[in-house]
Structures are given as structure tokens and as C-alpha cells.
Chains A and B, each alone.
Chain A
Amino acid sequence: DTGVSQNPRHKITKRGQNVTFRCDPISEHNRLYWYRQTLGQGPEFLTYFQNEAQLEKSRLLSDRFSAERPKGSFSTLEIQRTEQGDSAMYLCASSPNWLDTQYFGPGTRLTVL
């Protein structure tokens, strides 16, 4: 049984470029979550999906951010027109259902130059 996987593990980009991250949850996990973690802080919630439906978005998720989970399996997080303040670790987690424990992937570390 494989865990949550995320790709790429590291991404370096220039300010103004678009980036896309992918998350593959644990098989048959209905819930998928995205968090952002900046240096010295705990993860902060961004958004989550129940199957393909995006149920909630944090105020942290500006208009430049969009997340999808088109077939209820993998998810993508896109950041348009990146800014230096977007530099962070982006973590994905999944859980079987509503109240179950969330299991995290290894994260994608984004550096915006």
C-alpha cells in the first residue's frame, strides 16, 4: 500500500511564472487536502476535496491559486503569476472519509526567485 505521493519534490521558478503541482492520494481515499507551510511555521489549510468536489477554500487561496481533482483521484494545485511570497512547502494529505486521520505526502518545496 503506497502512501501519498507529490510531484515534483522541488520547484524553482522565476517571479511571474506559472507552476503546477500534482498530488496522488492513497488509493480509495475520498478526501484530499492541500496545506502550505512557510519556514518556521506549522502547515496552514488551503483547500480540500470530497471526491471531485472542492468543498472549501481558505482565504489564503488568492485568485492566482486554483486546485482541481477532476476524477476524484489525483489533484493538481496551480499558482499563476508566482510571487516571492509564494515560496513555501506545499503539502497534500488524504483521508478515507470525513473524520479519518489525514496522511501526508512528502511535499513540494517551491522557491520563487
Chain B
Amino acid sequence: AQKITQTQPGMFVQEKEAVTLDCTYDTSDQSYGLFWYKQPSSGEMIFLIYQGSYDEQNATEGRYSLNFQKARKSANLVISASQLGDSAMYFCAMRDYSGRGGGNKLTFGTGTQLKVEL
């Protein structure tokens, strides 16, 4: 079974600073995918970034980058130049290929609440 662990219930960062949100995972699969989603107080899950297990380069999307360390089974999200609008809950998730039809269901961690301060 897959498992995602996010050990930081809450994080504070000052505006314009960079912040790293931690995510470790556990899986016996050789091929897997890792995602980060942002959930503002409105409730919608917003896709941020994806990393495939065979991708040699760390994924980047604008101010978001994923620090992927396969041997350590970690997939930390780095947000550069934090903005007030970045205040939200952030979830790390792993794609599960098992099941009929090849799966693609996601297993989520418990999330990290990020607060950006002036």
C-alpha cells in the first residue's frame, strides 16, 4: 500500500521569501507519480506540479519546484518569492496504478497549512 507523510501541520513564511514543504512517500512500485495540490479556504484542489519517478530533472512550474530525492523517497515542494495569495493548505499526493483499469487514483497526505505574512 502507498503512503504519503507530511510532517509539518503548519508553516509560516514572510512575503517574498522561499519556503519548503516536506513530503515523504512509501511505495513498492517502481513506477509512480507525485503531485502537489493547493487547497485555499474555498475548498477547491488546485494542481500545482507533477513529478514522474523516472524523470531525471526536478519538475518546475513558475514559482513552484519539486525537490525530488528518489533514494530518500522525498518530494518536497519549494515555493519561491512567497505571496500573500499562497496562504492555503498544501497536499502531496501519489498516483496509485493498482486496480481495474490501471488505477490513477490518488493517495494524499494530511497536508501542510501555509501562512504567508507581511
Contact = CB atoms under 8 A, between A and B. Distances in A.
Contacts of A102: 47, 104, 106
B99 A106 contact: no
Contact of B47 (A45, A53, A103): A103
A42 B93 contact: yes
Interface stretch (A15-23, A71-79, A89-97): A89-97
SS class of chain A's interface: helix, strand, loop or mixed?
strand
Interface string B50-84: 10000000000000000000000000000000000
B104 A98 contact: yes
Question: Which interface class (under 10, 10 to 19, 20 to 34, 35 or more) fits A?
Answer: 20 to 34
B49 to A, nearest CB: 10
B105 A56 contact: yes
Given A42-B93, A42-B109, A102-B106, A89 B101 contact: no
B18 interface: no
Nearest to A33: B105
A40 interface: yes
A91 B44 CA distance: 8
A106 B109 CA distance: 19
B47 A101 contact: yes
B35 A56 contact: no
Among B95, B104, B106, B110, which residue has the most Cβ atoms of chain A within 10 A?
Answer: B104
Contacts of A89: 43
Among B4, B45, B95, which residue has the most Cβ atoms of chain A within 10 A?
Answer: B45
B91 interface: yes
A107 B104 contact: no
Interface of B: 4, 33, 35, 37, 42-47, 50, 91, 93, 95-96, 99-111
